Structure 1
Amino acid sequence: MSLTRLTQGPLTLGVELPLDNDWSPSGERARRDDARPFGVPDMDAHAERIAQVDRLGFRAAWLRDVPLYDPAFGDAGQVFELFTYLGYLARHTDHLLLGTAAAVLPLRQPWLVRKAAATVQALSGNRLLLGVASGDRPVEYPLFGEDFAQRGAQFREAVEILKGQTDAQLSSGQALLPHAPQLPLLAAGLAQQSPHWVGREMDGWLAYPGTPQDHIKRVGLWRQVAGDKPYVSFIHLDLLERPDAPTTRHRFGVSAGREGLIRELEAMQAAGVNHIGLHFRRNQRPLDETLEEIGREVLPRFQGQAPVIEPHAKETADVD
């Protein structure tokens, strides 16, 4: 089961897409040269980078759901539509768990979300982690014909559909195909619900980035309402070249050398965090070099030594 794999190890590590450092000084220069708006990453090497992440043994890749690029918000996520891109990534990886962080349920038809998620689950070999959210961009809701103020109620109704609790609406003989086991549901934040509702109805929590001290408080709340269900968060990382470079904090993360990153992750583990997704858009070094260093020097300290998979091994395992 994907949730079990997510938490196999004292602390597991993943990546948050897009795999581009377009928020760094060099990335900003490249963006201007390419005439891309702010927040629109360079996706030219995305297949190569996700294959590298898979080969190195990262546990999961997380995708944002950004239906509408808004210059005022300035973040296009990974550009591609969520579920379509999940299918593409499944084809280009062998072992990597594929997570949504998170599908905005009030802006999506929930029966189709369920079908799309079941499709990804079947074609990926049960590697999907379905993170869901109520959304936080008011400008999107009128475009989709939805009421921003009602997104909490819409979220609850969509979760009922995703969990099969409304299947009595189907007529005799009707079914939503493909059949899939219960989809693993993780809530991003509280999704306009109470902590107790989220702890009871969700299989895991996608907590917003914060310091280890922030997570001690949040994990304590999560354990009260959800027991040992997975607790996941993210770090916006700028991995410096000097392993012993001092650590400085910035919004949502740290700038640190490898030793500082390890200390930060150890503190996250001690706080009770089960999985951390690393976000690299601020990273100043070349991303392929950064990923290799983390895969070689950091992953084994937390996940154990994962097998190195030969690139393009997926090409021999096509589904007809």
Structure 2
Amino acid sequence: MARVFPEGRLVYGMQLPIQSQSTIYAEPWEATAGAADLAAVARAADRAGFGYVATCDHVAIPRHMAGPMSTIWYDPIATLSFLAGITENVRLLSHVAILGLRHPLLSAKQYATVDHLSGGRLILGVGAGHVKEEFEVLGVDFARRGAVLDETLDALRAALGPEEYPEFEGELFSFKDLGQLPRPVQERIPVWVGGSSPAAVRRAAVRGDGWLPQGDPLDKLPAQIARIKELRAEAGVAGPVEFGAITAPLYVGEPGWDTGRRTLTGKAEALAEALRAYKAIGIDQIQVRFRNRDRAELIDQITAFGSEVGPLLND
């Protein structure tokens, strides 16, 4: 079991715009943006030293939820594959893939191919999902989605391993004598588990290589980190685990427009000082988001963060 990023350093990544457009975080200009805009932002993050870029996952949004969620959710496999071909160093994270919607051999084929095409840059972020209709239309038991995800993760450990003919025997899934090439470049695909419920925290502890919290404020994170460490010890799970956090929205510099009361703004040192608080409590990687009014401003923010704030995070 290996870490994705070096121990003791605070790494930064970002959820990409455009590919998911919930009204909670999407900026207005994203509604008419397309592949060229997505590519430009991803390349900017790659150049700016971001640890990862991330994409979301929803198959279909029911009409009654489309207002706040929108129906714009790019497919993660297609999007990560596209990003693999236009970036060089940045890691590619699914944040998060709803693996229970798909047979583990199908997911293994898709994500092994992404890892192969990207030269070993995949991070598999996973979650249980929350849209009931999405499960029902695909014939998956929504009430048992946690148990389904747990077994899917166990099956994927086998299916994403080094063997051309992986074997697994479980309650829901079993396979053997079925070959899948290409294999992933990475000897072990890192699995980061998303969610902050007790079940998600336990899943991260027992089955994950990392944890992706869902909106926990800074003061709630130490208890969650301690709980994951406790659960791993009880389960006898050895090896490192990487802890993440989602920061408040950021703006490097003085915006000159209303970025919202929760947005952290200011000079590089002030932002870095605020973000170093995450490192102090044991966070390994922060997911940042920038307020912006168009693609150019977002790329400027990404570039400024990488050149001015990033180098100060580990002082």
Q: TM-score range by the shorter chain?
A: 0.7 to 0.9
Q: Which runs of no fewer than 5 residues in structure 1 stay unpaired?
A: 305-320
**CA RMSD, Structure 1 to Structure 2 (Å):** 3.4
Residue aligned with 1:295, SS: helix
Relative contact order higher in (CA < 8 Å, ≥ 6 apart): 1
Q: 2:97 — aligned with what? A: 103
State whether residues 20 and 287 of structure 1, in contact with CA within 8 Å, keep that contact through their aligned partners in structure 2. no
- Alpha-carbon distance in structure 1 between the residues aligned to 2:26 and 2:111: 36
Q: 1:268 — aligned with what? A: 278
- Alpha-carbon distance in structure 2 between the residues aligned to 1:25 and 1:191: 21
Matching of residue 175 in structure 1 with residue 179 in structure 2: yes
Superposition pairs for residues 129-208 of structure 1, below 5 Å? 129-164=123-158, 166-167=167-168, 169-172=174-177, 174-180=178-184, 181-189=187-195, 193=199, 195-208=201-214
Q: 2:163 — aligned with what? A: none
Q: 1:12 — aligned with what? A: 11
Q: 2:264 — aligned with what? A: 255
Cα drift, residue 256 of structure 1: 2.1
- Deviation digits for residues 219-259 of structure 1, max 9, x if unmatched? 2222323474101122241415329x9x9863xxx332244
State whether residues 84 and 117 of structure 2, in contact with CA within 8 Å, keep that contact through their aligned partners in structure 1. yes
State whether residues 152 and 191 of structure 1, in contact with CA within 8 Å, keep that contact through their aligned partners in structure 2. no
Which TM-score applies when normalising by structure 1?
A: 0.78
Residue aligned with 1:272, SS: coil
State whether residues 24 and 284 of structure 1, in contact with CA within 8 Å, keep that contact through their aligned partners in structure 2. no
- Alpha-carbon distance in structure 2 between the residues aligned to 1:303 and 1:47: 29
Residue aligned with 1:193, SS: helix
Q: For this pair of structures, how many residues does the alignment match?
A: 289
Q: 1:89 — aligned with what? A: 83
Among 115, 118, 134, the residue aligned to 1:121: 115
Q: 1:74 — aligned with what? A: 69
Matching of residue 225 in structure 1 with residue 231 in structure 2: yes
Residue aligned with 2:222, SS: helix
State whether residues 238 and 255 of structure 1, in contact with CA within 8 Å, keep that contact through their aligned partners in structure 2. yes
Identify which range, 122-131 or 136-145, moves more after superposition: 136-145
Which TM-score applies when normalising by structure 2?
A: 0.79
State whether residues 196 and 225 of structure 1, in contact with CA within 8 Å, keep that contact through their aligned partners in structure 2. yes
Q: Which runs of no fewer than 5 residues in structure 2 stay unpaired?
A: 160-166, 234-239
Residue aligned with 2:231, SS: helix
